[in-house]
Amino acid sequence: MAPILEVRDATKRFPGVLANDHISFSLNAGEILAFLGENGAGKSTLMNILYGLYTADEGEIEIRGQRVSIEDPNDAIELGVGMVHQHFQLVPVFTVAENIVMGTEPTKRSFSWRTLGIAGTAGAALFLVGGFFALDSLAQRLLAALAGGAAVAGIIALLIALSWLARLKFRLYFPITAVGGVALLLALTSVLGASAQIPFLIFLAILFAIASYPAVQVIMTALDRRRARQRIRELSEQYGLAVDPDALVENIPVGVQQRVEIIKTLYREADILILDEPTAVLTPQETEELFEIMRSLTAQGKSIMFITHKLKEVMAIADRVIVLRDGRLVGERKPDDTSLEELAEMMVGREVDLVVDKGPATPGEVVLEVEDLIAEDARGHRVVRGVDLFVRAGEILGVAGVQGNGQTELVEVLTGLHPASGGTVLILGQDVTNAPPRRVTELGVAHIPEDRQRDGLVMTFPIFDNLVLSTYYLEPYAKGPVIQFEEVYEYADRAVEEFDVRTPSIILPAQTLSGGNQQKLIVAREFSRPIKLMIAAQPTRGLDVGSVEYIHRQIVQKRDDGVAVLLVSVELDEIMALSDRIAVMYEGKIVGSVDADKVTREELGLMMAGARLEEEKAEVTGD
């Protein structure tokens, strides 16, 4: 059977960068095709070409055997291609249904014949009531009610007629409305004897015919919410994508937001789905749910291309794997015919150590101490509930837990980004509870935030500015109020090279970087200054295996240099590989703290579900 999509020699150049270099591949119907590659390897660029966000400089695209030209996303959607971006394209204050149908809204007429009857009756009733105050006889009052109701009904009828006409093309709407308007005005002038005004009235009729077309289309149509909800529920049931059409997007979990994005593509009848880093912001449970959804989609004939850095996911879900490096396609494998080690080596061009190499910790004095910490979210709900923990110099404390159990707010409180409503935070013996972020930073605290775009970078600032956000006012980057740009440029060039941030220039804004390179930019800034405490929330989110290996080594090196490290991650493998001690958060509390070498993955999983380790061991032994 012929492929549903075929790409030949796709090439895309940017100033100073060859992002895609003559890439050719095919996608079969009902197939899950994974794309692996380092940050900046050209994966997202290739997908953006297929979705019409970029135009290829060279190459051909065939869909269902027909050569096509995709100039913009509308072309892609018409061809049955949909894309779910790594950073969701949703309006938080809109409902799920409103987000899904945006741009392709099912509409209905604002006014109907029922509206005409109600409006006419209401108009007649108002005129009748007015008649009791202004007219003497019952006959006059009834006549006034009849005339008033007829006038209101006539206006509504005119609007309904115009709304029917507005469904036509303008070239049909204009002559019909103009001729009708001129005829009506000529009839009025003959009755009123105002023949001198005929040219002016004809001009008004033509002007009305022109101006009313867009106005009537807007005024006389409304979102058909019932039909939208019904269609969304049908798609939800068909593909196993459980969503509430009436829920506000800002109030639903990230995993459900991703379902909304997938339904958006299905609502537009996409047969080819592009998923860019679909699991980057998902918990392990949400990831497994996504995989079930992907299997359901392909079982019903949909085809999926997805970008990921996570090798285990590729082995679990993909039918075929394509590996890109430096903009070129370097290989294609089936999961059954390859290994994690081979895929990693293909991605980065060298052998990659997938196991973290670290010796035993030698803890020193306590650097971070948290006692009975309490914090509330924006709605006043308590999300951190009496947390106690400490981190010593020269050790890594990993905080494990399913996303949404207070880890985000805990990190924000520790770094001064969120107020605490109770408890204390001590850093190097100093009370920094509710201290501003600058004071926390000046005590030698590095912070790798969970949301890199909101809390880690100023997206419109150039790369060199983002690298000195914490230190721009200090020497050697400033002398008094004057920034020393030569020093900043020199440092930025050095950091970009050392941490392998893929960019043609440090003067480009941070928003031009891929998600993984944005993360590496933050890591470069935080690791390049003297620190006593590192607070790392999801430090390897969105990074390729080579970058993960590098950052893991850097974290362990910081620990060995005597830095206290607080690691927060939803990746259980990362927590177990890096941590010396592990604390598990559940519903805002620490439910257990154990040595990393004395706990199993299964025991941690139970604790993440709320069980205390002692209770589980007691059940197993029968005590």
Look at 189-203, 309-323, 373-387, 503-517 and tell me which has the smallest mean pLDDT: 189-203
Same domain membership, residue 316 and residue 407: no
Same domain membership, residue 290 and residue 409: no
Contact 432, 445 (CB under 8 A): no
505 domain-assigned: no
pLDDT digits (tens, 9 = 90+) for 155-166: 667 666 766 666
pLDDT of 442 reads 93
Residue (of 308, 275, 331, 325) closest to 502 by Cα position: 325
Number of compact structural domains in the chain: 3
Domain of 40?
A: 5-93+256-348
Same domain membership, residue 199 and residue 128: yes
33 domain-assigned: yes
| Helix %, strand %, coil % of the chain (to 5) | 45, 20, 35
Per the listing, tokens 């910790």 go with 361
Confidence of residue 434 (pLDDT cuts 50, 70, 90): very high
Max mean pLDDT range (105-114, 204-213, 356-365): 356-365
Q: Is the pLDDT of residue 616 over 50?
A: no
The tokens for 200 are 């002016």
Average of per-residue pLDDT across 63-90: 89
Average of per-residue pLDDT across 490-509: 91
pLDDT of 452 reads 86
Max mean pLDDT range (231-240, 397-406, 552-561): 552-561
Domain CATH number, residue 269? 3.40.50.300
22 domain-assigned: yes
Same domain membership, residue 157 and residue 121: yes
Going along 165-234, which residue ranges are E strands? 221-223
Element holding 166 (H helix, E strand)? helix 138-166
Same domain membership, residue 214 and residue 112: yes
Confidence of residue 490 (pLDDT cuts 50, 70, 90): very high
pLDDT of 573 reads 83
Same domain membership, residue 382 and residue 344: no
Q: What are the DSSP calls for 288-307, one per residue? A: HHHHHHHHHHHHTT-EEEEE
Residues 6+ apart with CB under 8 A from 253: 286, 404
Longest Cα–Cα distance of the chain, Å, equals: 106
Q: Is the pLDDT of residue 615 over 50?
A: no
pLDDT of 120 reads 66
Look at 4-18, 168-182, 414-428, 483-497 and tell me which has the smallest mean pLDDT: 168-182
pLDDT of 156 reads 66
Instruction: Please report, rounded to a whole number, the percentage of residues in the chain having pLDDT higher than 90.
Output: 39
End-to-end CA distance of the chain: 61
pLDDT digits (tens, 9 = 90+) for 282-322: 766 777 888 888 999 899 899 999 998 788 888 999 999 99
The identity of residue 401, as a single letter, is G
Same domain membership, residue 438 and residue 537: yes
Look at 51-60, 199-208, 285-294, 544-553 and tell me which has the smallest mean pLDDT: 199-208
Look at 209-213, 218-222, 414-418, 458-462 and tell me which has the smallest mean pLDDT: 218-222
User: End of a domain among 201, 223, 245?
Assistant: 223
Look at 139-143, 399-403, 613-617 and tell me which has the smallest mean pLDDT: 613-617
Average of per-residue pLDDT across 435-453: 92
Same domain membership, residue 156 and residue 288: no
Burial 152-175 (b: 16+ CB within 10 A, else e): bbeebbebbebbebbeeeeeebbe
